[in-house]
């Protein structure tokens, strides 16, 4: 056995850049349907020298001796190195679970279909009874993977505890994010309660509209994907107009996507292309991919603008920043501010009137539909965060259970959840907390833009200039630093409550 190769932080960063570039480009090719098989394992095998316990120790020594930005850069490199070890050690177990789920089949109305197809079909089945039935079958089959999901989660948790030296999952996540998750939870629970009175009539009106008045008073979560697509509005928001309208929307804000060659647009329709829009920042700011595949409906427009926010952020970062501050972040809370603020344009009634020739009343109603979606998703994520905090605080004693999952989420949004969906519905690393911080911050940023630029900020190039200044900072600042810069306390939820009320 040879001694592990230990690099200087700068050499590690440079080789990491090549590794992440190759993995990103491989992932992109498969995702957009250019390649039929994924060769990530071969890339991981070529770079095994990059991730070792010795390398972590060397980065930690350098980090302990550094201060300020240099310390932060070393922290991010070390934590990426830890993540690389975990990813490599769990790759086989993760692939096995993924492949088993890909191979799983169910039968619905005499038709045999993959589990993933059934999940996608739930978004487009027009019959309430069919969605109930398929949701039930899909939920049963999905739950058969729970033992494997839990085993993978426990293995990942064990490794993360060992490599970081922090055995408590909540404390570890708080260290990473640099915040108190309990304080965040308290602020969010209060914000959620503050919109209760506005939420209830909004929920009743749109549940009736989207599910029919004969719906169950407490419908199952099988209807979630169907409602998210806002299907009754589909005729107005056509698939064909999604790209031109979104490009024009960004143009009004001062961003000409077509003239930014570093943001590579992939808007084509290919049979194997994933329908989920995404951004792959392979090497920001030089290589950033914006990938969408329009399906029809307002959701296409929201997804395009959301992803454009990420693309403009990564594609707009200052090339003079170190690679770490262009690409690596402690969490996702910063970049999600910029996706949310672009997506928020679809909540402006005037945007609907202007682009789709709607009457003022109709435009108002369609904009209200997006507020309904926003309030619903926000409350769902508050429920998710509360459940996850309970899950991880009990974890040392019970090893992870569904206790509280269905009740917490059900009460938050007024849908019936299957208790055994608790693992399929959980993202790692308290991602829910990152989304929720972005919700708070993007509402603050919107209020700031209204104050600085005016109510029409969303079609004013001055707002674009302010955003451009924030994008230039890359991944370096925390979302809490952005709050300070625009004059808000990090947990000030007043602008968000105002938006969702």
Among 70-78, 105-113, 269-277, 331-339, the segment contacting Zn ion (CB under 5 A): 331-339
Among 11-19, 100-108, 159-167, 332-340, the segment contacting Zn ion (CB under 5 A): 332-340
Give 51 or 431: the residue with its C-beta nearer to Zn ion. 431
Give 224 or 302: the residue with its C-beta nearer to Zn ion. 302
Q: How far is CA 303 from the centre of its chain?
A: 11
Q: How far is CA 275 from the centre of its chain?
A: 15
Residue 479, interface with Zn ion (CB under 5 A)?
no
Give 44 or 303: the residue with its C-beta nearer to Zn ion. 303
Rounded to 5°, the CA angle 477-425-85 comes to 55
Long-range contacts of the stretch 193-199 (C-beta < 8 A, 24+):
194/493, 194/497, 194/501, 195/375, 195/379, 195/497, 195/500, 195/501, 197/501, 198/375, 198/500, 198/501, 199/375, 199/379, 199/500
Query: Least distance (Å) from Zn ion to the CB of residue 438?
Result: 8
Give 339 or 444: the residue with its C-beta nearer to Zn ion. 339
Residue carrying structure tokens 């209020």: 447
Among 187-195, 261-269, 334-342, 456-464, the segment contacting Zn ion (CB under 5 A): 334-342
Instruction: List, as one string, the DSSP characters of 179-240.
Output: S-HHHHHHHHHHHHHHTHHHHHHHHHHHHHHHH-TTS-SS-BGGGHHHHHTTGGGTTTS-TT
Give 264 or 462: the residue with its C-beta nearer to Zn ion. 264
Binding mask 191-220 for Zn ion (x = CB under 5 A): ------------------------------
Q: Which two tokens stand for residue 103?
A: 């191979």
Give 339 or 346: the residue with its C-beta nearer to Zn ion. 339
Residue 339, interface with Zn ion (CB under 5 A)?
yes
Residues sharing a CB contact under 8 Å with residue 56, sequence separation 6 or more, in sequence order: 78, 81, 82, 85, 163
Give 339 or 442: the residue with its C-beta nearer to Zn ion. 339
Query: Least distance (Å) from Zn ion to the CB of residue 136?
Result: 30
Cα–Cα distance, 14 to 17 (Å, whole number)? 5
Query: Least distance (Å) from Zn ion to the CB of residue 343?
Result: 9
Query: Least distance (Å) from Zn ion to the CB of residue 492?
Result: 22
- Percent of the chain as helix, strand, coil, to the nearest 5: 65, 5, 30
How many residues in the shown chain lie near Zn ion by CB under 5 A?
1
Among 128-136, 200-208, 333-341, 417-425, the segment contacting Zn ion (CB under 5 A): 333-341
Q: How many CA atoms lie within 13 A of 495 on its CB side?
A: 23
Short-list 141, 62, 61, 140, CA closest to 100: 141
Burial 193-224 (b: 16+ CB within 10 A, else e): ebbeeebeebbeebbebbbeeeeeeebbbbbb
Give 333 or 363: the residue with its C-beta nearer to Zn ion. 333
Among 174-182, 280-288, 335-343, 459-467, the segment contacting Zn ion (CB under 5 A): 335-343
Query: Least distance (Å) from Zn ion to the CB of residue 215?
Result: 30
Give 101 or 370: the residue with its C-beta nearer to Zn ion. 370
Q: Are 297 and 237 in contact (CB under 8 A)?
A: yes
Query: Least distance (Å) from Zn ion to the CB of residue 310?
Result: 6
**By Cβ distance, which residue is nearest to Zn ion?**
339
Cα–Cα distance, 467 to 445 (Å, whole number)? 10
Short-list 449, 437, 459, 455, CA closest to 487: 449
Among 22-30, 219-227, 284-292, 338-346, the segment contacting Zn ion (CB under 5 A): 338-346
Identify whether 285 is preceded by a cis peptide bond (ω within 30 of 0).
yes
Query: Least distance (Å) from Zn ion to the CB of residue 478?
Result: 17
Give 342 or 382: the residue with its C-beta nearer to Zn ion. 342
Among 182-190, 339-347, 416-424, 440-448, the segment contacting Zn ion (CB under 5 A): 339-347
Residue 302, interface with Zn ion (CB under 5 A)?
no
Contact footprint for Zn ion (CB under 5 A): 339
């Amino acid at each position: 056995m040879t001694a592990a190769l230990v690099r200087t932080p700068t050499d590690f960063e440079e080789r990491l850049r090549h590794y992440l570039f190759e993995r990103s480009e491989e992932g992109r090719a498969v995702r957009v349907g250019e390649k039929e098989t994924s060769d990530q394992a071969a890339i991981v095998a070529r770079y095994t020298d990059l991730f070792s316990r010795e390398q972590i120790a060397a980065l930690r020594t350098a980090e302990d001796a550094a201060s300020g930005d240099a310390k932060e850069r070393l922290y991010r490199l070390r934590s990426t190195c830890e993540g690389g070890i975990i990813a490599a050690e769990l790759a086989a177990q993760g692939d096995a679970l993924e492949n088993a789920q890909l191979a799983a089949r169910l039968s619905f109305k005499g038709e045999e279909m993959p589990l993933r197809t059934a999940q996608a079909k739930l978004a487009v089945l027009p019959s309430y009874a069919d969605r109930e039935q398929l949701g039930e079958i899909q939920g049963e089959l999905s739950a058969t993977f729970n033992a494997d999901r839990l085993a993978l989660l426990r293995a990942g948790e064990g490794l993360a505890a060992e490599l970081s030296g922090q055995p408590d999952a909540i404390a570890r996540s708080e260290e990473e994010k640099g915040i108190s998750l309990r304080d965040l939870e308290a602020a969010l629970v209060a914000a959620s309660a503050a919109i209760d009175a506005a939420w209830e009539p909004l929920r009743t009106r749109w549940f009736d509209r989207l599910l029919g008045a004969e719906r169950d008073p407490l419908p199952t979560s099988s209807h979630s994907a169907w409602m998210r697509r806002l299907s009754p509005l589909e005729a107005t928001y056509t698939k064909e107009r999604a790209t031109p309208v979104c490009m024009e929307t960004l143009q009004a804000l001062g961003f000409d996507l077509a003239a930014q060659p570093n943001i590579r647009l992939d808007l084509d329709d290919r049979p194997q292309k994933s329908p989920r829009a995404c951004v792959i920042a392979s090497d920001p700011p030089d290589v950033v991919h914006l990938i969408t595949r329009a399906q029809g409906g307002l959701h296409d427009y929201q997804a395009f603008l959301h992803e454009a926010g990420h693309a403009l952020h990564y594609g707009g970062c200052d090339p003079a920043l170190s690679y770490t501050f262009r690409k690596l972040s402690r969490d996702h809370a910063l970049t999600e501010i910029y996706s949310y603020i672009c997506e928020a344009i679809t909540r402006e009634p005037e945007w609907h009137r202007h682009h789709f020739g709607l009457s003022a009343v109709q435009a108002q109603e369609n904009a209200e539909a997006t507020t309904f979606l926003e309030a619903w998703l926000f409350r769902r994520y508050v429920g998710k965060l509360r459940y996850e905090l309970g899950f991880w605080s009990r974890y040392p004693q019970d090893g992870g259970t569904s206790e509280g999952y269905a009740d917490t989420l059900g009460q938050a949004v007024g849908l019936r959840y299957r208790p055994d969906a608790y693992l399929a519905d959980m993202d790692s690393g308290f991602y829910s907390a990152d989304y929720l911080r972005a919700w708070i911050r993007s509402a603050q940023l919107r209020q700031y833009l209204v104050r600085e630029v005016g109510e029409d900020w969303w079609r004013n190039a001055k707002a674009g200039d302010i955003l451009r200044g924030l994008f230039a900072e890359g991944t370096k600042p925390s979302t809490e630093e952005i709050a300070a810069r625009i004059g808000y306390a990090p947990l000030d939820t007043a602008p968000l409550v105002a938006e969702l009320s």
